[in-house]
Chains A and B, each alone.
Chain A
Amino acid sequence: KNQVEQSPQSLIILEGKNCTLQCNYTVSPFSNLRWYKQDTGRGPVSLTIMTFSENTKSNGRYTATLDADTKQSSLHITASQLSDSASYICVVSVKGGSYIPTFGRGTSLIVHP
């Protein structure tokens, strides 16, 4: 069964600090992995998308890594800001006609001043 597990479930950090969110998946055959940021009550916004051959991708203060061998990804947030408070969702898609995505439950990040 295709699964995406994210950890931690929730995280509280102080403004200015760095943090790393984890995503482990069992999805196969792998097509791509995406990280989304979802503010409360809003639609998810794409941060990064990585295919099998990509190890690292950055988007401003967000850096995602992918280890396709161990089926792990991480999202590192540098110099956190209050506006980073949100849910961060890992999404993995399979190869195939429909590329049906599997969503993780998300990590809820709270940045305190």
Chain B
Amino acid sequence: DSGVTQTPKHLITATGQRVTLRCSPRSGDLSVYWYQQSLDQGLQFLIQYYNGEERAKGNILERFSAQQFPDLHSELNLSSLELGDSALYFCASSVSTSYGYTFGSGTRLTVV
């Protein structure tokens, strides 16, 4: 157990729907990062939050949004889902941006 908790582990939904992925960072970690990994693809950085504030944005679609709450857990909202959004979505946390990340076990999203 890495200490980073992601729920749900698996999610199957239809095109056009909206889903919310949840991440609880390791105790004491203020930064939360979201990544997307499509089949046989590398990890794509989506967005980073630090202590409740958005810190950096990567290749995140406008249909996707995220937030970090006062208790430091984070949610990634994916809307108007398309087949191509099927992927593993990972959350990672760190104490600060200069330290290594700790990844969660991911949420596997399947859009049918």
In the complex, whether B67 has a CB less than 8 A from a CB of chain A is no
B64 contacts chain A at the CB level, 8 A cutoff: no
Please encode chain A, from 47 to 72, with 1 for each CB lying within 8 Å of some chain B CB and 0 for all others.
Answer: 00100000000000000000000000
Q: Which of A36, A44, A89, A99 contacts B98 (CB 8 A)?
A: A99
Q: Is the CB of A43 within 8 A of B55?
A: no
Top 9 closest pairs, chain A to chain B, by CB: A43-B103, A98-B56, A99-B97, A105-B42, A46-B100, A103-B43, A49-B100, A100-B56, A44-B103
B25 interface residue per 8 A CB criterion = no
Taken together as a complex, chains A and B put the C-alpha atoms of A16 and B104 apart, in Å, by: 30
Q: Which residues of B contact A49 (CB under 8 A)?
A: 99-100
B44 engages A43 (CB within 8 Å): no
B108 touches A41 (CB 8 A): yes
For A34, list chain B residues within 8 Å (CB).
100
Q: Total interface residues on B, using CB and 8 Å? A: 26
Interface centre among A34, A45, A89, A100 (most CB of B within 10 A): A100
**Total chain A interface residues with beta-carbon distance under 8 A:** 22
> 12 pairs across A/B with beta carbons < 8 Å?
A36-B103, A41-B108, A43-B4, A46-B100, A46-B102, A49-B100, A89-B42, A97-B55, A100-B56, A101-B45, A103-B44, A103-B45
Contact A100–B43 (Cβ < 8 Å): no
With an 8 A cutoff between CB atoms, is A32 at the interface? yes
Evaluate contact between B48 and A45: CB separation under 8 angstroms.
no
In-complex Cβ contact of B106 among A42, A46, A105 (8 A): A42
Set of chain B residues within 8 Å of A31, measured between Cβ atoms: 98
